[in-house]
Structure 1
Amino acid sequence: MATISLRRARTMIRKALEHGRAEELKPLCAVVLDAGGNLIAAEREDGASPGRFDIARAKAYGAVMLDMPGSAQMARAEAQAYFIACANGALGGGLVPVPGGVLVKDNKGITIGALGISGDASDNDAAAAKAGIEASGLAAEV
């Protein structure tokens, strides 16, 4: 099974933050987790509020634990709020089911981790994550 190297995680973060600056987004925080939900790398831009790390991590954690990007979690929460509430409880309250938690896929389409971004509107966070993942040579499921 493929994994995300520290080098590639740093590339994802750098490119995601560059995307955010190019699009004039608010300061961002980016967190890369492996397929088991373990931290590989994280960075919080100057000016990003302190809570952004926890939110970015929770976006990535929910994506990897449910194998479902944040946009799909949000749709599921709107259709079946009780499922997401129960999943959040089962996972220790660690989910933020909104866009910005983006799955990282290898060249076979297998989930190898997630990139969570927080700091701007959720759709903008997801776009920055997608840009970072694709710039690293991997596929993003937004």
Structure 2
Amino acid sequence: MSHPTITLETASRIIDAGQEKALDLGLNAVFAVLDAGANLVAFERMDGAWLASNDLALAKSRTSVMFEAPSEALNAPLQLGEPVAHFDHTNGGLLLMGGGVPITDDTGRLLGALGVSGGTPEQDAEIARTAIS
């Protein structure tokens, strides 16, 4: 039995759509597409994108794969006196801010995730949602 996966061709189409949206917003971004096992399928950094965005895009994509949810959905507001959930000691790192979105097939099965970094978390999330739609 084969498992559903994301192809390089599909990952490239998603990144192309994301780059178009980033340009519309006046941003230079980094895009990381992982498969459902959190393995890198495609990675592109637009000219002029921040070097720090390389790690951030990967972490956002990894977060979306691991939780099968948009990375910003896991970002709960801080409450004084309450413990803070953090993942700074996980292998590979996770990031609980906008810009990571799961990629699913028509039946809702997880194929992978896209991570975007280059703007605010809200801009990154908008780019990612546009790219996979």
- TM more than 0.5: yes
Residue 12 of structure 1 deviates from its aligned partner by 0.4
- The DSSP-based 3-state class of the residue aligned with 1:53 is helix
The 1-side partners of 2:43 and 2:78 are apart by 29
Q: Which residue of 2 aligns with 1:37?
A: 38
Residue 68 of structure 1 deviates from its aligned partner by 2.3
Q: Which residue of 2 aligns with 1:13?
A: 15
The 2-side partners of 1:81 and 1:41 are apart by 36
Unpaired runs of 5+ in structure 2?
A: none
Q: Which residue of 2 aligns with 1:106?
A: 105
Please tell me whether residue 65 in structure 1 is matched to residue 62 in structure 2: no
Is the alpha carbon distance of 1:58 and 1:81 closer, same or farther for their aligned partners in structure 2, counting shifts above 3 Å?
farther
- The DSSP-based 3-state class of the residue aligned with 1:112 is strand
- The DSSP-based 3-state class of the residue aligned with 2:6 is coil
Q: Which residue of 2 aligns with 1:139?
A: none
Residue 107 of structure 1 deviates from its aligned partner by 0.4
Q: Which residue of 2 aligns with 1:137?
A: none
Residues 46-105 of structure 1: CA deviation (Å, up to 9, x unaligned): 111112111000000011112221111112x647754x32x443x325011101011111
Is the alpha carbon distance of 1:47 and 1:98 closer, same or farther for their aligned partners in structure 2, counting shifts above 3 Å?
same
The 1-side partners of 2:83 and 2:125 are apart by 22
Larger radius of gyration: 2
What amino acid sits opposite 1:14 in the alignment? D
| Mapping for residues 87-126 of structure 1, pairs under 5 Å | 87-89=87-89, 91-92=90-91, 94-126=93-125
Residue 23 of structure 1 deviates from its aligned partner by 2.2
Structure with bigger helix share is: 1
Q: Number of matched residues?
A: 129
TM-score by structure 2 length? 0.88
Unpaired runs of 5+ in structure 1?
A: 135-142
The 2-side partners of 1:81 and 1:20 are apart by 35
Q: Percent identity?
A: 36
Residue 4 of structure 1 deviates from its aligned partner by 0.7
Q: Which residue of 1 aligns with 2:25?
A: 23
